[in-house]
Homo-oligomer: A and B are copies of this chain.
C-alpha cells in the first residue's frame, strides 16, 4: 500500500518539534493534538513550506525531501493542496479568480474535480464576483477549500478548514471530502479539534503532543486505547464498528446492518445492501443492563458483552470507564453510582444497549 513516510525535527525557542511516522496514503488521516502541539508545523513541513535541516519525506515512491542526499522538491512541484488555518485568499482577485488560480496551473489531464460541482457544494455561486476582502469568516474558509480542491492535488492538507462553519454546512462538506478519498483516491491530512468532525472521516490518526508523536495508527486502535488520558477525549468514542448493510426497513425508516453476525439497527441509509458502513457509538450512549435483555426501551440495539477492564475515567472523576468485548472493543462510560449498584466486575456478562440514533 502507498505510504507517506515523514521525519522532521526543528528547534524553535521554547518548542522542540521532532516527529517520525508513517501513514497509509489512503482515506483521511486525522492530525490531532492540543493547541500549540505542532499540527500546523507538521503540515508546513509536508507541504515543503518549511525546510528543516535534516528532514525526510517520502510520498509513495517519490522522495520529496531527503537532506542526507540534498533532495528537496519545491512546494509548487508537490501538488499538495493546502487549506491554511487562516484562509489566505488573494485579496486582489475575485472569488472566481481565487478559485481558478490553482486550477489554471494544474495539468488538464489530471483535473478530476468539477468547478460547478465544487461551487455548488460549497455554496459559492453567490460569491463569485465578490472581492474577498469583506467575505465573512466562513465564506473565506469555503473559498479556500474550493481553491485547494480545484488545483487537483495528489495530497490534501487541511488545517482546521471548517472551524468557522456551522453544523449544517459541515454535514454537507464532510461527506464530499470523504468521497474525494474514496472515488478520486486523494489522501487527506486533516487537522481538527472537533471529534464529531473527524470520526466519520478519519481512517488513521496521528496524535501530537508537545511536538512529538504520542500515538499513531488506525482510528480504532488509537481510540480504544485507555492509556492516552487527556490527550484526546478518547473516552467519548465507545467504538467504531465496520459493518455491512443487510436490509432496509422502509416502513420504520431503519436499516439493519450486520456486525460480526449480529444485527444492529440504524436510521435508514442511502447505500445498497451489501455496502460497507462505518458505525460509531459514543461511550456515554452505552447503557449496561445486568440480568437478561432490558425491558422494551427506545434504545434499540442490544449486544451481549463481556467486561474486560474497568478504570476510573481520567477525564471525569465521578465516572467509570468500562472496556467491554462485543467482538471488538467497546468503551462504556457510566457513573460510579451505577457501577456500584450494578456490582460490575471484569469477566461479568452484561447487555450493552445503545440507541440507534446514536450511530452515525
Contacts and interface: CB of A to CB of B under 8 A. Distances in A.
A166 B35 contact: yes
A308 interface: no
Q: How large is the interface on A (under 10, 10 to 19, 20 to 34, 35 or more residues)?
A: 35 or more
Interface of A: 12, 14, 33-36, 39-40, 85-86, 126, 130, 134, 136-139, 141-142, 159-160, 163-169, 193-195, 230, 233, 249, 252-254, 265, 267-268, 284-285, 287-290, 294-300, 316-319, 332-338, 340-342, 355-358
A17 to B, nearest CB: 11
A285 to B, nearest CB: 7
B284 A357 contact: yes
B136 A36 contact: yes
A319 B357 contact: yes
Contacts of A142: 35
A130 B13 CA distance: 9
A296 B342 contact: yes
B165 A35 contact: yes
Stoichiometry, as copies per complex, reads 2
Given A166-B34, A284-B355, A298-B342, A130 B335 contact: no
Contacts of A332: 298
A298 B86 contact: no
Most buried by B among A195, A318, A340: A318
Given A36-B139, A194-B194, A253-B335, 18 more contacts: A35-B165, A36-B136, A40-B137, A137-B159, A160-B163, A163-B163, A166-B193, A252-B318, A252-B335, A265-B335, A268-B318, A284-B355, A285-B285, A287-B297, A287-B355, A319-B357, A334-B355, A337-B356
A172 to B, nearest CB: 11
18 contacts: A14-B126, A14-B130, A34-B166, A35-B136, A40-B137, A85-B137, A252-B336, A253-B318, A254-B336, A267-B316, A267-B335, A284-B357, A287-B299, A289-B295, A289-B298, A290-B296, A298-B334, A298-B335
A126 B253 CA distance: 54
B168 A230 contact: yes
A101 to B, nearest CB: 21
Most buried by B among A40, A333, A337, A340: A337
Nearest to A298: B338
A358 B294 CA distance: 20
Contacts of A284: 355, 357-358
Given A34-B166, A35-B136, A268-B318, A252 B337 contact: yes
A87 to B, nearest CB: 9
B336 A357 contact: no
Contacts of A297: 287, 289, 294, 338
Contact of A335 (B137, B317, B333, B355): B355
A345 B253 CA distance: 19
